[in-house]
Amino acid sequence: MSASPTGGITAAGPRARAAAAATDPSDIEIQALRGLTRTPKCLPPALLYDDRGSALFDRITRLDAYYPTRAETAILRRRAPDIAAHAGSGAVLVDYGAGSSVKTRLVLDALDRPAAWVPIDVSAGHLERAAAAIARDHPGLLVAPLVADFTAALDLPDAVTALPGPRLGFFPGSTIGNLAPEEAVAFLRRAACLLGRDGRLIVGVDLVKDEDRLLAAYDDPEGVTAAFNLNLLARLNREARADFDPTAFAHRVRWNAGLSRIEMHLESLTDQVVSLAGRPIRFRAGETIHTENSHKYTPESFARLARRAGWRSQACWTDAARDFSVHELVQSH
Torsion of CA 81, 85, 88, 91, to 10 degrees: -20
Q: In whole angstroms, what is the distance from residue 213 CA to residue 68 CA?
A: 11
| Distance linking the first and last C-alpha atoms of the chain | 30
Q: How confident is the model at residue 172 (pLDDT cuts 50, 70, 90)?
A: very high
Q: pLDDT, tens digit, for every residue of 47-70? A: 998 989 989 999 999 999 999 999
26: confidence class by pLDDT, cuts 50, 70, 90: low
- 3 state SS of 283: strand
Element (H, E) at 82: helix 67-87
Residue 120 — left, alpha, or beta (φ > 0 → left; ψ -120 to 50 → alpha)?
beta
pLDDT in tens, 65-110: 999 999 999 999 999 999 999 999 999 999 998 766 789 999 999 9
pTM of the model: 0.88
The superfamily (CATH) of domain 67-208+298-331 is Vaccinia Virus protein VP39 (3.40.50.150)
Q: List the domain boundaries for the chain.
A: 27-63+211-295, 67-208+298-331
d(CA 189, CA 169): 12
Phi first, then psi: give them for residue 283, nearest 5 degrees.
Answer: -125, 135
**pLDDT score, position 86:** 98
Of 286, 259, 230, 218, residue with least CA distance to 67 = 218
